[in-house]
Amino acid sequence: MNGWAADTWLIASQSESINLGQTISIDIAKAEPLSNWPKTFTMKLFGNGVSEAVLLSPTKYFSSSTLRRTYIGVASKKYVGVVRAELMGESSNRLILLALNEYAGSTQIDETPNPTNLDDHSHNLLATKSTATVVVIASPSDEPTLSANEPMYFVVGKDAKHGSDSRFQLSFKYRPFDPAGSVSNFAPFFSNLYFAYTQTTLWDFGDNSSPFRDTSYRPSVFYRWAGSGRGLLPDTWRAGAEHESNGQAGTNSRSLNTFYVRPSWNFDLANGRQLIFSPKFQQYLNKNDNADIARYRGYIDWQLRYGREDGLILSNLYRLGTGGYSTNQLDISYPLSDRIFARTGAFIHLQLLSGYGETLLDYNKSSDTQIRLGLSIAR
């Protein structure tokens, strides 16, 4: 079969966008002629915790070619951001579509060639390749240019040593080259570039003068792109450089520079739930103020996220240093209002943290389990 299995189908969408109530027109092609085509196909749509099975029926008028035909169906659920599509019960390539919403703009996508634009000879040449892939050149416009990066929250707890304390975090990312902009139209790969900033502060408001115990400042630059999501391959990738420091001088000064790679795997589960596994592999470039920090932080941040975007979300961060020292942080959040964007709104937030290095200043000091409750605006 010239590299294709006999049961492999090639699918291509006549549109890059999709959402609730929209008719989907799918061109379906076979690597070899068929005398009897299936009366219907079922296509799975999934993305951002939402999935469904869409029945595809042949159009009233279709090409007489036995290599390809057009089928249509209707999406019955609302999607946000990237939507993946593939045939259910059949071996096919996977499509990447973009959910239309108030922030959607044009997206540069290098899609599988549309079989309706190919003659039979061209299609046969295409069929000699292995399963077609879809590569997202530019990240979809499913969020504003300025958006949340890591969770943003304010939580309050009780500390045996410092009395009442709180922890708050601000985090955002900025994409300077919007996919719909002139620069991205000329060079689409620029729209995958991000600048980010995260600030985490411990505030001992129960002490005299209510001091900030320590603050971690983390500016970074990273590149983000979509993976194939097939088999063991990640759904998305990040790679970048990050600086972290606490802004102090003398013996209390702490700083380090790292390079990291962060693949992510998204697993769609029952009832709209999703499990995201996104370990962050990092290499220390400079750590003069804390030369032994790898003994307490290690080289990998193990990160899991589970739940529904419109319901309960559990996030866990685990670090194991080369010296056997560990840190574990569990965040549990539940919405108090409708989402504003994909990850922002108002949420009740519970945080449990134990182990080493709650602050960069105390990276090599252990603390008792901290339990804090508060609110978050991004998770």
Residues 6+ apart with CB under 8 A from 8: 31, 91, 92, 131
Positive or negative, the CA dihedral 268, 269, 270, 272 is negative
Looking at domain 8-136, does it have CATH number 2.60.40? Answer: yes
- Choosing among 2.40.230.10, 1.10.3720.10, 3.30.1360.40, 2.60.40.1930, the CATH entry for 146-378 is 2.40.230.10
- Listed residue (356, 348, 353, 355) closest to 377, CA to CA: 348
Give me the amino acid identity at 209: S
For residues 4 and 149, give the distance between their C-alpha atoms in angstroms, rounded to a whole number: 41
> What does the pLDDT read at residue 306?
97
Helix (H), strand (E) counts: the chain: 3, 25
Q: b/e map of 76-103 (b: 16 or more CB within 10 Å)?
A: eeebbbbbbbbbeeeebbbbbbbbbbeb
Q: Report pTM.
A: 0.66
* Domain residue extents for the chain: 8-136, 146-378
Q: For 189, phi and psi rounded to 5 degrees?
A: -65, -20
In whole angstroms, how large is the CA radius of gyration of the chain? 24
Tokens of 230: 């097939």
For residues 373 and 351, give the distance between their C-alpha atoms in angstroms, rounded to a whole number: 6
- CA–centroid distance for 64 within its chain: 42
In the chain, alpha helices (H): 120-127, 182-186, 294-297
- CA–centroid distance for 356 within its chain: 27
Which residues sit opposite 195 in a β-bridge? 174, 221
For residues 286 and 44, give the distance between their C-alpha atoms in angstroms, rounded to a whole number: 46
> What does the pLDDT read at residue 91?
86
Tokens of 134: 């879809």
> What does the pLDDT read at residue 65?
56
For residues 161 and 358, give the distance between their C-alpha atoms in angstroms, rounded to a whole number: 14
Q: DSSP assignment, residue 28? A: E
The segments of the chain whose pLDDT lies below 70 read 1-7, 31, 48-49, 60-66, 100-143, 160-163, 180, 206-210, 339-342
- Listed residue (320, 332, 316) closest to 278, CA to CA: 316
For residues 202 and 190, give the distance between their C-alpha atoms in angstroms, rounded to a whole number: 36
Looking at every residue in the chain, the average pLDDT score rounds to 81
> What does the pLDDT read at residue 17?
75
